[in-house]
Structure 1
């Protein structure tokens, strides 16, 4: 469902005739190429990805370039401008997966601007899938990635000082959406915090799928905590015969059900992307309904036909969809509660 704000975002990029002829066909028609990504920041990320897809570029290149836009932004909680862990240090996680089932991940990476690109180097230049902590940083430096200053952004420092007054961690549903925007601070007035992620999946003109996921993790998390984003099959999964999916929200709950792998398997059974995402959300609810009532998890997916969809636990999760030069719009995901 599109809300009024999303409609205005969409129509500013194209004409009303495009809106009526294309948008309402999305439930029945697939698109190729196509890219979708989580939350409002997905609009800008999609633009960078689409520049590659529109020229018949590879989906892998598109999903890397797309989320790099978000990583470089100081206006949201992904990247080095993000909220730190409870020790005051920003750590980043990322994963990437291509059409051949190759994948690379980094976890607890410090002082590197683009963890998604380091994850791709892990995939392409090492025999491993995941590098973490000091080892991941050493690898990044060896690959030519510069070390950024060890300091918090002004907003993150202010937020951290506010958090230290109580030193409590209380996840806030949909804070990814509330915290975005060109002038949005990285903190809330009540001092409550949560994680932030951008996930992206794409289908290119050659019918190949790839995906990426990058995050700063939960704000004020315990030192060393990893969520679902750098874990293949949890925060990201791609099967080029079937489809691709990525996740956002409380990573621990996604990990417990191997969320994105589950979404892809539901698509393998013949479910469309939205239904597959819904079934994965149902699995979370079935595990612990009372906990799920106070948790947000959202999934988005694309199948091999170029059909897309998303679903979440709570109202408020949205995702960006782009399949044309003048077609880049927000969709409010359907929700369980």
Structure 2
């Protein structure tokens, strides 16, 4: 969570920046784009500054791998990192001390799979892919998801690390659920990829809100909310308060806005501002989206009420304060 290297992508347009941390981490590309010309090379982006994840996805794409493989292997990096306490191994537990994982994956042919409330298996995204490829279903939950993971040969692991357990024990002294909503409390990694064949894919994985009610599921494993891929238009994924994303079918909304002609950044901005208008006066949540269209263009937008944000262009120059848009 201390990474601060922003890997520049020549296709990146303007994004909304939270403090000093970017909403989008991008894999480096070897080509530049102009206007609406698709880059000659592939693209990989993910939420927040998870540069190791996009590096991995880019290495898969550069070697000729598929968008689906790149998305899966990219987010697996964070699932396996015990220092990332919002995804996979080392994720913060629910209020009863159980680490439960949610994930989904989707390709350009609308194939998709998801797991919710998965316990004991690090790579929830890979279990989700097996659901997609090995069953007639889209979603498996709880004990059923864990049973399926075992049957598929995944190794069982205790996901609660000493660090996360210690923090949970301290939290229990007050049992006051007051999650810190800020740029260092990332609760998701969502990744979008475009391969050399022009195929899109996406993956989203999380351990959810720290100390949530047992059984709570946010937007991350919900197709259309936390992630959506449409081969004719593009793909989007969300981060932030999952309940608000679910209520607006957020990622599907972003893709549909791109279908109507908006750029990825414009679509993400519109989606965020719609949610904010429905929650006027609230300051206890954060919402963000990133998007990738079939041309290889990327964009993102994120707001947390109560903070002063400005929109930045691709050169880091500040533009109009975001607050003015909310008042219009």
* TM band (smaller chain): 0.7 to 0.9
Whole-Å separation in 2 of the counterparts to 1:230 and 1:72: 18
| Matched position secondary structure for 1:219 | coil
Matches within 5 A, 1:272-291: 272-291=263-282
CA distance in 1, matches of 2:105, 2:241: 19
User: Which runs of 5 or more residues in structure 2 are unaligned?
Assistant: 10-27, 310-315, 324-328
Q: Scaled by the length of structure 1, what TM-score is found? A: 0.80
Of 248, 257, 260 in structure 1, the residue corresponding to residue 239 of structure 2 is 248
| Whole-Å separation in 2 of the counterparts to 1:252 and 1:171 | 14
The 5 Å alignment of 1:164-313 reads 164-174=172-182, 177-178=183-184, 196-291=187-282, 293-313=283-303
Q: Looking at secondary structure, tell me which structure has more helix per residue.
A: 1
Mapped contact 1:30–1:308 kept (Cα < 8 A): no
User: Does the 8 A contact of 1:273 with 1:307 survive in 2?
Assistant: yes
CA pair 316-131 structure 1, distance change in 2 beyond 3 A: farther
Q: Does 1:133 align with 2:142?
A: yes
d(CA) in 2 for partners of 1:335, 1:135: 47
How do 1:326-337 and structure 2 match up within 5 A? 336-337=322-323
| CA gap 1:59/1:22 in 2 versus in 1, 3 angstroms | closer
Return the match for 2:100 from 91, 95, 98: 91
Unpaired segments ≥5 residues, structure 1? 12-18, 180-194, 318-329
| Preserved contact between residue 196 and residue 215 of structure 1 (Cα < 8 Å) | yes
Deviation digits for residues 140-171 of structure 1, max 9, x if unmatched? Answer: 0000001113x621110111011101111123
How many residue pairs get aligned? The number is: 292
CA-CA distance at 1:55 after TM superposition: 1.9
List per-residue Cα deviations over 1:235-289 (Å, max 9, x = no partner): 0000011000000100000000000000000000000000000110111012121
